[in-house]
Amino acid sequence: MLELCNISKKYKEKIALNDVSLKLDNGIYGLLGPNGAGKSTLMNIITGNLEPTEGTIKWDGKEVKELGSNYRSLLGYAPQQQGMYETFSGRRFLSYIATLKGISQSSMEDEINRVLLYVNMVEKSNQKIGTYSGGMKQRILIAQAIIGNPKLVILDEPTAGLDPKERVRIRERIAELSKDKIILVSTHVVSDIESIAKKIILIKTGKIIDYANVNVLCDKYNATNLEDVYMKIFGEE
């Protein structure tokens, strides 16, 4: 169980997150909001890459600050920008990440093959990342996030810049991630998460506007689908 307690983040005068509280148990969650809403800031705080100005994060009731490396070892993260090693092959990049994650030499090859198979990148794994399409890069980014079978997987806009076919493929891969995890996926595209997320977290200018499943949201906003909910909340922007 992941718990965010009154998280706020200020960048100088700019309030990027304003008193965000959330409780997440196993399942897929969609973090939905327009550009600048605070999605990446929230994800960077959850992953420990950014300190909140206020508030705490707890894992199973314990502050993650105190859990230290125990928390990091149950975490998988695919950041928004593709800071990947273009001259590495996909396989070499994954073994680099696996080493950073402390995967043992003896299980390294099996684990890398497992995640490559999962994202359907075995055949291209020895080619340089620089030769990959955007969708292939995203698939390798997801593969590295699930090395070591983490309990908490954070995917920041995994479908950004992809064509419709690739979006569907990524969505299917995320939907099939095992259900004994917390999976948090950010996007500003409703169709990425509408059919796969157990709950949608709607975020607008640093505030959680709503947090519920799609049916509840549709009823509440008198909307026919999530797109309609989104337009009612963010339409004026």
List interacting residues with ligand ADP (CB under 6 A): 11, 14, 16, 33, 35-41
- The alpha carbon of 118 is separated from its chain's Cα centroid by a whole number of angstroms, namely 17
Query: Whose CA is closest to 159, among 177, 179, 142, 176?
Result: 142
40 touches Mg ion (CB under 5 A): yes
Taking the C-alpha atoms of residue 24 and residue 205, their distance in angstroms, rounded to an integer, is 21
| Residue 82 interacting entry, from Mg ion, ligand ADP, none, C-beta within 5 to 8 Å by type | none
Decide if residue 159 touches Mg ion (CB under 5 A).
Answer: no
Question: What are the two backbone dihedrals, phi and then psi, of residue 120, each rounded to the nearest 5 degrees?
Answer: 60, 50
CA 184 to chain centre: 4
CB of 233 to ligand ADP, least distance (A): 14
Report DSSP state, residue 128.
Answer: B
Amino acid occupying residue 143: A
Residues 76-115 that bind Mg ion (CB under 5 A): 80
State the Cα–Cα distance between residues 91 and 93, nearest whole angstrom: 5
Least distance in Å: CB of 31 to ligand ADP? 8
Q: Does 44 bind Mg ion (CB under 5 A)?
A: no
Task: Report the C-alpha gap between 47 and 189 in whole angstroms.
Answer: 23
CB of 201 to Mg ion, least distance (A): 14
Q: Minimum CB separation from ligand ADP for residue 91, in Å? A: 30
> Is 47 one of the binding residues for Mg ion (CB under 5 A)?
no
Which lies closer to Mg ion via its Cβ, residue 36 or residue 108? 36
Q: What is the contact surface with Mg ion in residues (CB under 5 A)?
A: 39-40, 80
